[in-house]
Amino acid sequence: MPVRTTGGTGPVATTKPAPRDTDETVSDEPTPPVTDKGPGPDDARHLNSPLLLTLLLLTAVMLQDPIRGALSAPVMQSWMTVFVAVMVQALPFLVLGVLLSAAIAVFVPPSFFARALPKRPALAVPVAGAAGVVLPGCECASVPVAGALVRRGVTPAAALAFLLSAPAINPIVLTATAVAFPGNPEMVLARFVASLLVACVMGWLWHRLGRTDWLRPPDRPSYEGRGRGAAFWGSVRHDVMHAGGFLVVGAMAAATLKAVVPEEWLRVAAGHPVLSVLALAVLAVLLSICSEADAFVAASLTQFSLTARLTFLVVGPMIDLKLFAMQAGTFGRAFALRFAPATFALAVVVSALTGTVLL
């Protein structure tokens, strides 16, 4: 029955319907409709986290014998060896580059670079390339530092020259090259000259032919209103997570290709002068060895000529799988797809000519 109210401000009178002559209990609350929508968001979240992890662990336990057999295969052992080696060699220098990048972004004012580099990009390129001598790191360290230079207003041509030269002409790399080739001290000079030439020429080419829409400025979260310490560590965390992910992808690709390339191909290529140069150039890209360690690998390839091994040392620090992945993640895929092939071709030509003259 409807509710009846009294006029004015009197009390509200209600009349309840008489209970039905059944055994059911009458409730004042409405009965929710029955739907068949399945589990809600909370259930999905519950299924996607601990339960999913538990299922994966149980699956791994049940399949431990096949997994152990697969991992014990020679191909998988070679894959794991290369992957772990690339990561162990690269991570310390990646962290170094991230720390330098954060320091540049937080503590160095933009006016410093305006004073340190020449106004004209054509002159700023060789100065930035020669400045690569001061960074004791490998290519994993140079990428975030070059990204920080671009963010701070440095002309991209100069930043790219620094990116290419720093991993190849810094004191640690040159010292390692001298130790690896004790009977050929001219290899140190040849590596320095060829690497610096490639870096400068690529910088000039980018200044002349590069387009702004090809290079995406590196993203960086805003830390305005926060102290320098908080901004520094926030920048470090951002770059480690960003560049580290692409480093893992590159290391996995290098390990996969290394595991499937037959060694017989190298022995055949070593007997041909031109083919040996191209073979070691491609091998440098595939192996993705840190520039601090590549001289010892090159020294072990005694079946190849010194010029071919110089090509290995020049190409590797400038373009390999992990470096391509990191460049694509930092500056964009459009940049990496144009910059990497041009760098590879120029590095092969310059190293072959330099080796012919100096070696």
User: What's the chain's Rg over C-alpha atoms?
Assistant: 31
**Which one has a higher pLDDT value, 184 or 323?**
184
Torsion (CA) 301, 162, 244, 314 in degrees, nearest 10? -10
Q: Where does residue 220 rank: exposed (0-12), middle (13-18), buried (19+ CB within 10 A)? A: middle
* Local confidence band at 170 (pLDDT 50, 70, 90 cut-offs): confident
Q: Which residues of 125-149 are buried (b: 16+ CB within 10 A; e: fewer)?
A: bbebbbbbbebebbbbbbbbbbbbb
pLDDT at 237 over 90: no
pLDDT at 317 over 60: yes
Number of H helices, E strands in the chain: 17, 2
Given the DSSP bridges, would you call strands 12-13 and 4-5 parallel, antiparallel or unpaired?
Answer: antiparallel
| pTM for the structure as a whole | 0.65
Partners of 4 in the β-ladder: 13
Per-residue model confidence as pLDDT tens digits over 266-282? 677 788 889 999 988 99
Cα distances (angstroms) measured from residue 219 to each of 7, 99, 176, 242, 332: 69, 17, 35, 10, 10
Cα distances (angstroms) measured from residue 208 to each of 92, 122, 161, 202, 345: 35, 9, 13, 10, 18
CA dihedral sign of residues 327, 328, 333, 337:
positive
Per-residue model confidence as pLDDT tens digits over 63-122? 777 777 766 777 788 888 878 877 776 677 667 767 776 777 677 675 676 677 887 888
Residues across the chain: 359
